[in-house]
Amino acid sequence: MNNHMLQHTVKNMRHRSDSGFIFLEIIIATVLIGLVFIMLMGIGFSSLTVTGAIQKATQIDSLIKEELEAVRSFRDGTTWLTDGLGVANTGSTNPYYLELDTTVTPPKWKLVSGTETVGAFTRKVIFDKVSRDTATNNIESTYNIAHDDPDTRQVTVIIASTSNSASTYQVMQYLTNWNK
């Protein structure tokens, strides 16, 4: 073999070898780009899930706050032992929701028996009697009729998802007959 043919053969081998490396580099680059794309898609789907959960939590929080404010307004616009919280039925078997009565001027909140549906949620308010420890005047964790406090009610607002029965949220607070 002459020198010229030997050089030509070496060039062809290098060219084939370089082509093989370029092909391998293209495959590796494609795989890496695909993996990055899959990771970005996962991050995108996760952010959508988190955004939906935040939106749901914000809506639930607003529904609870709205109902608690309506209960306070109802308490403030009524007489406790005549037409107010002092005479409302108590216990979980007596749910209420509040509705704005626009037939009176100015409009006032009124108690309505039952449960209200608001969008994808149901909402109700439960009133419970409260008793106080006679020595400390603190609210007792379990109601004791002998220590009944007729001027305090435990108010529990309960929000439940209509699409998922396991999703129930509640907030409890105490309201007093501050206007006695």
12-52 confidence digits (pLDDT tens)? 555 555 666 788 888 898 989 989 989 988 888 888 878 88
pTM: 0.74
Give the Cα separation of 163 and 171 in Å (integer).
20
Contacts of 161 (CB under 8 A, 6+ apart): 120, 121, 167, 168
C-alpha to C-alpha distance for 61 and 81, rounded to whole angstroms: 30
**Residues 88-133: pLDDT tens digits?**
999 999 999 999 999 999 999 999 999 999 999 999 999 999 999 9
Domain boundaries defined on the chain:
45-176
Q: Round to whole Å and give the CA distance between 123 and 71.
A: 13
